[in-house]
């Protein structure tokens, strides 16, 4: 059983996942600082000095910290945007490395205006 466990841990995908989790935790600390120390003060300036972390309301004994939720949403959006940019950059580099260029958008196929007008003209002549 120990040999099976060692083989499982030694697989590349398990190690890659572990590195990804560690890097994600470190990246989360950076994004948390970015949001708390830079983004929230800027938003606070725009909306008149409101600190989102202080926004809350109580109902009986329950305290609803809406500001903390807003901060979490902002952090998520920033992380999602950065991950999107990273994946896009990695895909572009991979495509360049294998010599695959981005396909140029094709022009729409179909008859030109002149061709359509000639068809209409010919149809009208044939009718009468």
Low-confidence ranges of the chain (pLDDT < 70): 12, 49-51, 101-104
**What was the pLDDT predicted at 106?**
75
Q: How far is CA 95 from CA 42, 87, 103, in A?
A: 38, 12, 11
Query: Which residues touch 53 (CB under 8 Å, ≥6 apart)?
Result: 36, 40, 65, 67, 68, 71
Maximum distance among all Cα pairs of the chain, rounded to whole angstroms:
91
**What was the pLDDT predicted at 35?**
76
**What was the pLDDT predicted at 20?**
84
**What was the pLDDT predicted at 104?**
67
SS3 34: helix
**What was the pLDDT predicted at 72?**
82
Q: How far apart are CA 38 and CA 19, in angstroms?
A: 28
Enumerate the domain spans of the chain.
2-127
C-alpha closest to that of 31 among 84, 67, 74, 68: 74
**What was the pLDDT predicted at 8?**
75
Helix H or strand E segment including 2: helix 2-10
Q: How far apart are CA 76 and CA 70, in angstroms?
A: 10
**What was the pLDDT predicted at 75?**
79
**What was the pLDDT predicted at 103?**
65
Class of domain 2-127: mainly alpha
SS3 8: helix
Alpha helices per DSSP H over 35-112: 40-46, 66-97
């Amino acid at each position: 059983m120990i040999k099976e466990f060692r083989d499982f841990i030694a697989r590349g995908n398990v190690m890659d996942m572990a590195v990804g989790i560690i890097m994600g935790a470190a990246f989360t600390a950076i994004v948390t600082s970015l949001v708390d120390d830079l983004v929230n003060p800027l938003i606070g300036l725009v909306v008149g000095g409101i600190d989102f972390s202080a926004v809350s309301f109580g109902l009986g004994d329950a305290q609803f910290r809406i500001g903390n939720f807003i901060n979490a949403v902002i952090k998520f959006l920033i992380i999602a945007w950065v991950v999107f940019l990273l994946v896009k950059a990695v895909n572009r580099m991979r495509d360049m490395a294998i010599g695959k260029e981005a396909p140029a958008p094709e022009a729409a196929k179909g008859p030109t205006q002149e061709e359509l007008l000639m068809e209409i003209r010919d149809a009208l002549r044939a009718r009468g």
